[in-house]
Amino acid sequence: MQVDFVIMCGGYGSRLKPFTYIIPKPFLTANNISPFEYTLRNIPKKLKVRKIFVTVFYKKDFIKKKLKKQNENIQIIIEKEAMGTAGSLRTIVKKNCSKNIIIINGDIYSKIEYEKLLDNHIKSNSDITMCIKSHKIHIPYAVMSKKKNKIFFKEKPVIQKKINAGIYVIKKKFLVNFFKKNSNNFLDMNQLFENKKKINIFDIGQKWIDIGHINDFKRAYNEIKKW
């Protein structure tokens, strides 16, 4: 299976300041490895990845220097202005990229099985596959519910929700057609999903951490070494 990767590294990392004043979020390290490097290491050779596009905006000079000695397949896409989580895909689809593109946020540690993900996407014949993860929310209070005229309380319940994991597979053909109809330079990923019927869902399991918050960044130190 042939595929290209896009690793999104353009964000400001505002919630992790002051750390990100110097180092952009995808290159902060837990257990001596950054989310970016972790992603590269977990791309299987069987996927036959031709190109790895890295989108950059904030701290672009830092990232360019960091990637200078990296994988020769890496191609840096520099955003001249902030383009949102999907705007840079307009530039990528104009290049000689594969029929399907795997997109991952640069601040994620994930032990995802990319071969199964891509196979699932192709078999579903979908335009977009969104990766999800089960997430438990612990509520430290009693929660009230009402049925007819009776009121019930459940003490400190645990609610399980499916969250967007920030990993996608998208058909190049879909993106080309989308950008023909949408001229805005700034686009968020959710705008690709609005009113689309051919969207597939893939559960990636529990080996996933987004270091968007300081507590998650700390948690990564303990968890990824167990994977």
Which residue segments constitute the domains of the chain, with CATH numbers given? 3-132+164-226 (3.90.550.10)
At residue 138, does pLDDT exceed 90?
no
Fill in the amino acid letter for 197. Answer: K
Alpha helices (runs of H) in 164-203, residue ranges in sequence order: 172-181, 190-193
pLDDT at 155: 85
82 vs 209, more confident: 209
Fill in the amino acid letter for 99. Answer: K
Residue with tokens 């960091």: 66
| Contacts (Cβ under 8 Å, ≥6 apart) of 54 | 6, 7, 9, 63, 67, 74, 75, 76, 77, 106
224 vs 195, more confident: 224
* Of the candidate ranges 21-35, 160-174, 212-226, the one whose mean pLDDT is the lowest: 212-226
SS3 51: strand
At residue 73, does pLDDT exceed 90?
no
Residue range 123-144: average pLDDT? 90
What the block records as the tokens of 128 is 């977009």
Alpha helices (runs of H) in 17-126, residue ranges in sequence order: 35-41, 60-66, 89-93, 114-124
pLDDT at 71: 64
For residue 35, is the peptide bond before it cis, meaning its omega torsion is within 30 degrees of 0? no
From CA 211, how far away is CA 44, in angstroms rounded? 23
Looking at every residue in the chain, the average pLDDT score rounds to 89
Share of the chain above pLDDT 70, in %: 98
From CA 85, how far away is CA 82, in angstroms rounded? 9
From CA 141, how far away is CA 157, in angstroms rounded? 8
pLDDT-derived band at 144, boundaries 50, 70, 90: confident
CB 5 within 8 A of CB 43: yes
* Of the candidate ranges 19-23, 78-82, 100-104, 145-149, the one whose mean pLDDT is the lowest: 145-149
Instruction: Kindly report, residue by residue over 85-113, the tens digit of the pLDDT.
Output: 888 999 999 988 899 999 999 999 999 99
End-to-end CA distance of the chain: 25
pLDDT at 78: 92
